Structure 1
Amino acid sequence: MLGGIPSKKVDIPVTAVFLALYIVGGAIHLAIFLLNKKRGHKFLFSLFIFIFCLARIVTTSLRIATISKPTNIDLAIAASVFVAAGILILFIINLIWSQRVLRSLHPRFGWHTAISTLFRVAYVLIALTLAIVITATVQMFFTLRPRTRTIDRDLQLYAGTFFTIISFLPIPIVLIALAAPRKSKPEKFGKGRFRTKIWILLIGTTLCCLGAAFRCGTSWIKPVPLVRPMPDYYSKACFYIFVFTVEILVVYLYAIMRVDLRFHIPDGAKGPGSYEASLRVGSTSGDVEAKQAQETAAEGK
């Protein structure tokens, strides 16, 4: 098990530190969202990152409660579910921003119906896979049948692999979009230099993918019996680095670099040229892809 057997002397203080960091990070993004809302600058992703931090506040609180009461199976189930589910918000945010970069660099291709449909399918698959992994995780706590546990583990491995692929997707999308020849300059959206947007997105995606890949890789390795010494990749340090630390870095990176200004698009942007056209007429900024992702994911549940 990643992180080994929890210890009150070690895990509770460390988890409490991360709890405080998530509280501060969530407060920062909520404040950014509310301040922007007052001046008519609508950027839903700041709210989504706040929700992610809120989910992680619940996760760390449940982890502390589970360590304090290790025999409480309900707490253990809830903690396991929240650990698996929360990070998906950042994966979806990065994926949507990569779509904005693609549409900026290659408007006709990026806005094509087939490409938009592929992104919608990805959101539906994310929602369905999340439902699958939650069901498998909960069921493993209540069954001793070897066949059922094997199926549940296979479902967890599928979900971990799928989510790792999703976390990685923005990198090839952005790099291929940059490498592909284009006839015109990128359509401008948001504030700041375009290359800075690219670096922010690539760094954030790499951190998310690093954590997802490590968790996925260790889950594929055959579990080690508790009577044997835990390998280094199951250590507490690895758990806190690849689960919570990479997420905290992304949360604060996006706050410090003001993604709310850099990645916003004008309200009503739809089709090639709409980013710049809407900016010229002075429309308030919105989050078209974010709304589409929300609606599509809801349909898939």
Structure 2
Amino acid sequence: MMLTPSQSPQGQPPGKLRGPPYLPNAAGVGGVPTVSVDVPISAVFIAIFIVGAVGHMRLFKLNLSRGHKFIPSAVTFGFCMARIVANILRIAWATRQTNVRLGIAANVFVAAGVLLLFILNLLYCQRLLRASHPRLGWSRSMSYFIKALYIIIAATLVIVITATVQSFYTLNADIRRIDRNLQLYGGSYLTFISFLPLPILAYVQLAPRKGRAQPVESFGKGSWTAKCLIVGTAGVLLTLGAGFRLGTSAMPPRPVFHPAWYHHKACFYIFNFGLEAIVVYLFLLGRVDQRFYVPDGSSKVRNYSEKRKDGYAASLGGEKVQDEEEVSEFAKKRNPGKYIEEKIIDGCLEQEPVCGMSPNGY
């Protein structure tokens, strides 16, 4: 939700306005919270996100005790805590409607918290891409691209928060215009991030792999279809919420006393906390901690297999080896006699014509 101060509702000149910070004149989605409507709804969402936070943290600690470290569960817990704080701030704002600082804090928490879900869904989608199209998914260019997206997300978050706060502390029309443009940029970029897993998922499902000899690499538990459905459903819901926020922010500002239909409180709670709660429980009940788990160090060896080839290389001398050909070359150089002996035995067991005897030795 984007709030920017303008002239006073009564049409008073800027010099007679109380502030800074200044009360906004433009209508925002959800409006100023009230005790009769917003407090009960916010209390319900607090309970919903408390249950989600407890569930994800319980799974995180349970898995950690079994040597199964799944950081995204802790991140989802952090998101739930941010949403609890956002609803608490809205309750406090409802009891002190003229406290602009409470309104600023509430809006910042509403706008910033959802970033965590965007990042998690993009992470899960990246794991699907790496498992199905390893040449592209594990490429340095793709890794750098994803990391660049994360860096830009952090920078965008700082820009949006700064512009939002500054817009409440100035009456300069040019500064407010710049702040609004920065907020629109932030909304556009975050909508792009929320949508990005969908085309990646389409590529994962539709793009042909390098022949049938390259099957999809197995990781985690559960079916491949279930993994794709979780990422796709979350992507659609998050894009719907982000797109709604961007669309309403891009519309011409309307006076507080004459809001549009999309400024209704129902729209605010459905397209913000409602959709996000569905995604939180989708991740919880869908057991993403099991479905999207990958062994530690996968990025270094560029595969999700539990039996790491570099482990065999380490037993041969501690050197990093990436594939079977390199392992064979390393073994041959390190102990040629033993390597030849092993290859002869393998030939005898697998191909009878090599040694002229059956596998049973007759």
Shared fold by TM > 0.5? yes
Q: How many Å apart are 1:204 and its aligned residue?
A: 1.0
User: What is the letter of the counterpart of residue 222 of structure 1?
Assistant: P
Distance in 1, Cα, partners of 2:253 & 2:292: 42
| CA displacement at 1:272 relative to structure 2 | 7.3
The counterpart of 1:100, out of the listed 117, 127, 146, is 127
How is 1:1-301 mapped onto 2 (pairs within 5 angstroms)? Answer: 1-182=28-209, 183=211, 184-228=214-258, 230-270=259-299, 274-278=303-307
Residue type of the alignment partner of 1:255: L
Letter in 2 for 1:86: G
TM-score (norm 1): 0.90
Asked if 2 retains the 8 angstrom alpha-carbon contact of 1:56 and 1:86, the reply is: yes
What amino acid is the match of 2:106?
A
Per-residue CA deviations over 1:178-204 (Å, capped at 9, x if unaligned) read 111102211011000011000011001
Deviations for 1:70-123, whole angstroms, at most 9, x for unmatched residues? 122221121111111100000000111111111011111110100100001000
Computed over aligned residues only, the root mean square deviation of the Cα atoms, in angstroms, reads 1.6
- CA separation in 2, counterparts of 1:162 and 1:216? 10
Deviations 1:135-179 (A, max 9, x none): 001101111111111110110011001100000000001111211
One-letter identity of the residue aligned with 1:249: I
Q: Which amino acid aligns with 1:264?
A: Y
Separation of aligned partners in 2, 1:153 and 1:80 = 15
Equivalent position amino acid for 1:56 in 2: R
The amino acid that maps onto 1:251 is V
Q: Structure 1 stretch 44-53 or stretch 138-147: which is displaced more?
A: 138-147
How many angstroms does 1:23 deviate by? 0.8
Q: Provide the rounded CA distance (Å) in 1 between the counterparts of 2:200 and 2:262.
A: 30
Q: CA deviation at 1:276?
A: 2.1
Q: 1:197 to 1:29 in 2, by over 3 A?
A: same
Secondary structure (helix, strand or coil) at the match of 1:266 reads coil
Rounded to whole Å, the distance in 2 between the matches of 1:177 and 1:131 is 33
The whole-number CA distance in structure 2 between the counterparts of 1:278 and 1:135 is 48
Equivalents in 2 of 1:175, 1:186: separation in Å? 15
* Structure with greater Cα Rg: 2
Query: Could you tell me how far 1:232 is from its partner in structure 2?
Result: 1.5
Number of positions where the alignment pairs a residue of Structure 1 with one of Structure 2: 281
Going from structure 1 to structure 2, the CA distance change for 1:14 and 1:280 (only over 3 Å counts) comes to farther
Name 2:21's counterpart in structure 1.
none
Q: Secondary structure at the match of 1:186?
A: coil
Alpha-carbon distance in structure 1 between the residues aligned to 2:171 and 2:150: 33
Give every structure 1 segment of 4 or more consecutive aligned residues whose post-TM-superposition deviation is greater than 4 Å.
279-282
Native 8 Å contact 1:66 1:75 kept in 2: yes
Q: Is the 8 A contact 1:136 1:152 kept in 2?
A: yes
* % identical equivalent positions: 50
Instruction: Tell me how far apart the structure 2 counterparts of residues 168 and 227 of structure 1 sit (CA, whole Å).
Output: 34
Shift of 1:67: 1.1
One-letter amino acid of the structure 1 residue matched with residue 276 of structure 2? E
Name the counterpart of 1:287.
none
Unmatched 5+ stretches in structure 2 = 1-27, 312-362
Distance 2:177 2:134 in 1: 46
The answer (yes or no) to whether the contact 2:33–2:90 under 8 Å persists in 1 is no
Deviations 1:236-264 (A, max 9, x none): 11110001000000001111110000001
| In 2, Cα distance between equivalents of 1:237 and 1:171 | 27
SS in 1 for 2:36: helix
The whole-number CA distance in structure 2 between the counterparts of 1:270 and 1:61 is 39
Normalising by structure 2, we get a TM-score of: 0.75
The letter of the residue matching 2:202 is L
Structure with greater helix percent = 1
* Cα distance in 2, alignment partners of residues 12 and 170 from structure 1: 35
The unaligned stretches of length 5 or more in structure 1 are 283-301
